Structure 1
């Protein structure tokens, strides 16, 4: 028998569910109203900060729906000498895996509307992760679709080595406070078309 969830957790789950709905609507608005050059500006900021980390492994993502496009950033970071990967959803409630990606990589469809490098691409462990989100706050917390894939991944990777987690979004996705609990992993940086925010203990 599945144990009952405590009332406070059920209340937070409901709060997050409602927050996702409003955040998705806000992101749609942000994507419609943002400059066509938003992804280029985001790319400029990321390359300026992380472009000298040649040899490090970076994970990006293929934008779904109104997620901000990080493909220009990944391409430029790869040109700067970083090694590009994309995430792979293997199963529910499991950390993500990452496979090598280049412009000529064979791709295959995955669950949840994702697309990832085919199984013949080597698995790699990223040093930097560029992560999509529905909303973020100045404390470095994000909210996504609710699958917990990135939270599990960050907890796992951080137990193994130092990694840098960078949330990517439109500036208009910033909120005062994201609902969160102890399972939610904090980001190290926020990247928007307006610039970068480094998350420090004082945040």
Structure 2
């Protein structure tokens, strides 16, 4: 069985080999699938991310959400913690930790704002609902906070080759996702 670090290395390499055109096309297909999800109607608060290193780009989805009056939040890393802050425009994002576009510290997402749909990046996603990220554990720690997991539906997104079956790579501290959306499928049943 492959270890997380082996999966991380292989997926970084495979994703890194994609051309800009391939990333754009696959990201467009992911955003089309995201826009069709019935979850969009159920959640007023959406937690997105700023893509790096050929991650699926959610700009098209952001525009769709903004046009539909959603409250959109992006993560900001401060030391070992990550919080989400409301953004009205992508122009409000500036380069922050790990060279990732981040919001200013304005209105922070809190469960008192209402339930949220979180779109989670990753390097690999398992058919058991777990993900391999960059190894810092920001999303797992965030979702593990009191009241967060019960108020956030977390959906991983990535390219279809990042969805792996038959491999178990979760650790005790990992938080399972509620689903995964790729450019070719949606997977929501982890029972």
**Which TM-score bucket, shorter chain as reference?**
0.7 to 0.9
In 2 relative to 1, CA 157–71 (structure 1 residues): closer, same or farther, beyond 3 Å?
farther
Q: How does 1:90-109 map to 2 (within 5 A)?
A: 90-92=78-80, 94=81, 96-103=82-89, 105-109=91-95
How far the C-alpha of 1:156 sits from its partner, in A, is 1.3
TM-score, normalized by length of structure 1? 0.81
TM-score, scaled to structure 2 = 0.85
* Displacement after TM superposition at 1:159 (Å): 5.1
Q: 1:143 offset after TM fit, Å?
A: 0.2
Bigger Rg over Cα: 1
Partner of residue 8, structure 1: none
Which of 154, 158, 161 in structure 2 is aligned with 1:165? 154
5+ residue gaps, structure 2: none
Secondary structure of the residue aligned to 1:89 is: strand
Distance 2:176 2:58 in 1: 20
Q: 1:46 touches 1:73 (CA, 8 Å); kept in 2? A: yes
Cα 1:143–1:35 change in 2 (3 A) is: closer
2-structure distance, mates of 1:15, 1:33 = 31
Change (3 A) 1:181 1:32: same
**Pair 1:114-2:100 in alignment:** yes
Stretches of 4+ moved more than 4 A in 1? 30-33, 157-160
**5+ residue gaps in structure 1?**
1-11
Matched residue of 2:74: which SS?
A: strand
Residues 15-30 of structure 1 aligned to structure 2 (within 5 Å):
15-30=3-18
| 2:170 alignment partner in structure 1 | 180
Contact 2:47 2:74 in 1 (8 A): yes
- Asked whether the 8 Å contact 1:136–1:178 carries over to 2, the reply is no
Residues 37-76 of structure 1 aligned to structure 2 (within 5 Å): 37-49=25-37, 50-53=39-42, 56-76=44-64
1:35, distance to aligned residue in structure 2 (A): 6.7
How many aligned positions are there? 185
